[in-house]
Amino acid sequence: MELDFTMQSTNRYKVQVIDRALAILEVLADEGPALTLAELAGRIRLPKSTVLRLLNVLQQHRFVAKDSRSGNYRLGLKLVELGTSAASQLDFVERARPHLNRLMTMTGETVFLSVLDGIEVLAVDRVESPRTVRVPLSAGGRAPAYCTANGKALLAFLPETELDVRLATAKLRSYTHNTIVTHSGLRNELRRVRAMGYAVDHEEMEEGLKCVGAPVRNLSGVVVASVGILGPAFRLADKKLAGIATSVVHAADGVSAELGFQRATPEAAGRSRGRRGML
């Protein structure tokens, strides 16, 4: 009987620890992006020593990160990785398929849906071109994000601090004479992607191949995937890229709408500014 009581107490303690750790993550998600140890302890009403022990474990497993300068805590990249993996398993792949099919029919090129995994981009679905000269691409294929259009369309919309962490250990290897191999050059390229709303791979991964990719947003407006087309450079000539990019962006926006994202109209933006002005 005493042994059974001890086991029950141990199990209750483990559940309590999990509850407290989840409470920390929820507070950081709701009230972040960054909070001090004292602020976290105050929010979940626990001693700072207890919260510090929990934070150390969460930091060890990359669920939280500590700023080396301020000492504040924020959500860690492990959550981003888990979210990315979860996104690739959700039904949005099926819901995206009609948009991928239409884009393939419109452009005649292989179309793919991708997510970010660390510093790599992972293709979670694809519709292959029926043309004789085509680029086969298998779902599950990986490529460096920094030299592919679908990868750059994902990297460009990361929060700056998260991009810093991902690029900190990234070695920008040269695949062709067009590959961007410096961090400053890549950051300039990502700024262009944000400004244009889409990314282009100018034979950066493989000579003779070009790619155009655009971001897919979820209900909250966070970029969670990208839609891209891949084809021979002679068919994706520079003079055609603007028109092709319009089609790719349209398809990506269609997938975003499937996830509940609604792009603000100029009228809605104006009303919002008006309301802010009256506050």
Give the domain ranges of the chain: 2-75, 82-258
Name the average pLDDT for the chain: 84
Evaluate if residue 165 carries a pLDDT over 70: yes
pLDDT at 266: 46
Which among 38, 58, 59 is positioned nearest to 49, based on CA atoms? 38
| The 110-117 sheet, strands edge to edge | 142-144, 120-127, 110-117, 223-232, 209-217, 199-202
Q: Would the pTM count as exceeding 0.85?
A: no
> pLDDT-derived band of residue 134, with 50, 70 and 90 as boundaries?
low
Does domain 82-258 fall under CATH 3.30.450.40? My reply is yes
Residues 6+ apart with CB under 8 A from 217: 223, 224, 256, 259, 261
Same topology, domains 2-75 and 82-258? Answer is no
> pLDDT-derived band of residue 68, with 50, 70 and 90 as boundaries?
confident
Does domain 2-75 fall under CATH 3.60.21.10? My reply is no
User: Which amino acid is present at 4?
Assistant: D
Mean pLDDT on 14-23: 85
Which among 67, 73, 30 is positioned nearest to 54, based on CA atoms? 73
Mean pLDDT on 133-144: 64
